[in-house]
Structure 1
Amino acid sequence: MANKRTAELVYNHAAEIAEVATTLQYKRMPELESRYGKTGREKCLQDAGYHLSYLAEAILSESPLLFRDYIGWAQQMLSARNIPAKDLAVNLNCIKEALAQRLPIESFVVAAKYMNSAMNQLESAFEPIESFLKSDHTLKATAEKYLQLLLNGKRNQASQLILQEVEKGVAVKELYLEVFQPVQHEIGRLWQLNKVSVAQEHYCTAATQMIMSQLYEHIFNSERNGYRLVATCISGDLHEVGIRMVADFFEMEGWDTFYLGANTPIESIIRTLREQEANLLIVSATMAYHVRAVSDLIEAIRRDTTLKSVKIMVGGYPFNVAPELWQAIGADAFANNAAAAIEKANDLLRALPLK
């Protein structure tokens, strides 16, 4: 109960706390004005808001690991942009002071525990982020070539590369797992390290979605197994490539899939589950601050007696970081990739009658 109250206070007062923290930081570090200008203050305020969002979600989920992981990520991202670790440390200390000013003492004690846990790691050197293009992947060379083509803006050549692999007999599932998935993760890593721009990241993602659609003649020709899946991102989550890959995997396994895409409201998800008489819902959360919306969705589904037989599987980065998080929010299962999702779904639904 203390965690829930604290998280809600942080959510509700995040803008005010971020403003107080930013003002404190600029008083302590007046050189920031000349170093970064007006846009720097706006960015500092925005970053404080992000920190508070992640903090609130970690507290609500009772997972200090979520906030520690986020701060570690932020440290590496800022370092790659030549922003000293000291700036982040001062910013977090100012947030902590602002929390002390704005929260009741019992809630501040809870929040401070999560803040301290994350801030302690700033004193240690962070581990370098390894490439997602692994040497033990059969298609590593293809993945590397595909990535370079995308980064060079050669979408058509990237498409031809993938279609040639299919013609050579490479399974579509293998291309998803060993090319599309690791390349998307690698692009995210390169952005974090300031080696690609946001525009390049968006271009690569859009190109991959287009190329995936060219493979649909190989996806939608499987014999149906009688099961129905709804796959979606929660409202507020715009990162849809991962969940789309999962939906395509289920389609290749013979499921009838209803892919709703990004940023889908809870009401629309529930209506679709009813209309399609779905056996399984898979919902993705890309950022830790999306977990609360996933939890709200699960609660809404559990309250609906017409959906009592629907199984719910979750996935996405926060659940990879905190392995017990899926249980804490009431899901039936968690999977960290498309192949694992198929296996978990078979375990969940083996005893259910077909629609």
Structure 2
Amino acid sequence: MGAGASPSTAEPWARKLWDAVIALDEDAAADVVTGALDSGVDAESVLLDVIGAVQHKVGVEWAADRLSVAQEHAATALNERAVATLSLSHRPEGERRGRVLVACVDQEWHALPARLLAETLRLRGWQVDYLGARTPTPHLVGHIHRTGPSAVCLSSSLSARLPLAHAALTACQAAGVPVMVGGLAFGHDGRYARPLGADAWAPDARTAADRLAAGLPLPPPPHQTVHDLPHLADQEYTLLRRDSRRLVRETLTGLRARHPSVGAYGEEQLERTAEDLGHIVEALTTALYLDEDGLFVDFLGWTAEILTARGVPADSLLPALDLLEEQVRDFLRAPRVLRAGRAALRDHR
């Protein structure tokens, strides 16, 4: 396991980098990275305990509505450049351990966690092919066939991407390569990694590097995704996923008809409401994909916290859940998931 700086060593540099990031001062951020390295903080600690810690705080501050979306994007971009500064100034020497492919699943645009892992592995002596955000599965498999990595590391932050993650890891395993997954999409404890058939899960970059060094198990024989999740045979996920736009449209129509406040929304407010409804439907279908009510409950809890931070009552989501349940009443599992979400929202109050 790589040595890490003690919190007392890394924290002053993290505070300096935070100040540079908030000021959008790229030169100051680069100086923090080089200064920390010159002071004797090891490169992995600068990467994870300084840059990684600051990026985590960026996410916390955005969720608390203390950073705008634009500020969050700018801060993330500056942290990515800080990673590049470290990468250019610290090049490991010696023989490489082997080749690893690191990528985000298709439609996953939160790439910095995967970049931090890629750099951690590089510092540990691996040859790393980092493919970045939103890597389509066919391109992922094509790269495996061209380069022959010993393992694939897939990252996803959004639970809505889990069906795509499942397809990607199954395809990689069919190519004969074990897959380790990580990111918030798989649950804080990795609870969604095992049902999807992942060969390993790691909660952070250091643990991922340790598990990779210990060796991943061989992947299972080629199989279809439905073999991992036999409940998909009932077609609820497929049918509701196919109907998701209609569900959003009819739910929005019902809200405008039954709730005068929504009926008075301007065009921009309606667009935002439709977007929020799209996320709710996406979370519903993902919960059906894994047959995990808790996934939908967790999504609604996170959404409720975001809304509360922005001064919007969390129970404003309840009418939408009622309308959705009316539309899916002929299904078996979807109404159950929606009822679990409604109960959690009421408890949240």
TM-score normalised to the size of structure 1?
0.57
Asked if residue 236 in structure 1 is aligned to residue 107 in structure 2, the reply is yes
8 Å Cα contact 1:222-1:253 kept in structure 2 = no
Taking the aligned partners of 1:279 and 1:136, their CA distance within structure 2 comes to 33
- How many residue pairs get aligned? The number is 214
- Given that residues 280 and 311 in structure 1 are in contact (C-alpha distance below 8 angstroms), is that contact kept between their aligned partners in structure 2? yes
Secondary structure in 1 matching 2:9: coil
Equivalent position of 1:262 in the other structure: 133
Contact kept? 1:287, 1:317, Cα under 8 Å: yes
Q: Could you tell me whether the CA contact under 8 Å between 1:237 and 1:290 is conserved in 2?
A: yes
1:126-141 alignment to 2 at 5 Å? 136=7, 138-141=9-12
Report the Cα offset of residue 350 of structure 1.
9.2
Q: Is the 8 A contact 1:222 1:251 kept in 2?
A: no
Identity level (%): 24
Match of 1:316 in 2: 183
Equivalent of residue 222 in structure 1, options 70, 90, 93: 93
Gaps of 5+ in 1: 1-134
Residue number among 192, 195, 205 corresponding to 2:66 in the alignment: 195
> Which residue of 79, 91, 95 maps to 1:208?
79
Alignment partner, residue 16 of structure 1: none
Q: 1:311, 1:348 within 8 Å by CA — same for their partners in 2?
A: no
Larger RCO, structure (CA 8 Å, separation 6 or more): 1
CA distance in 2, matches of 1:253, 1:224: 11
SS at match of 1:325: coil
- 1:163 aligns with 34
Residue 188 of structure 2 is aligned to residue 286 of structure 1: no
2:171 aligned residue:
300
SS at match of 1:264: coil
The aligned counterpart of 1:252 is: 123
Kept after mapping to 2: 8 A contact 1:172/1:218: no
| Deviation (angstroms), 1:262 | 0.4
Letter in 1 for 2:92: N
Does structure 2 retain, via aligned residues, the 8 Å contact 1:235–1:265?
Answer: yes
Judge conservation of contact 2:190–2:202 (CA < 8 Å) in 1.
Answer: no
Structure 1 residues 225-274: Cα deviation after superposition (integer angstroms, max 9, x where no partner)? 34110000011011111101101111111111100000110001001111
CA distance in 2 between counterparts of 1:198 and 1:244 reads 21
Instruction: Indicate the RMSD between aligned Cα atoms, in angstroms.
Output: 2.0
CA 1:338–1:321 in structure 2 vs 1: closer, same or farther (change >3 Å)?
A: closer
Give 1:146 deviation, angstroms.
1.1
Partners of 1:255 and 1:276 lie apart in 2 by: 14
Q: Report the 3-state secondary structure (helix = DSSP H, G, I; strand = E; otherwise coil) of the residue aligned with 2:101.
A: strand
Distance 1:143 1:190 in 2: 15
Query: Normalized against structure 2, the TM-score is what?
Result: 0.58
Cα distance between partner residues in 2 of 1:198 and 1:235: 22
Stretches of structure 2 that go unaligned for 5 or more consecutive residues are 1-5, 219-349
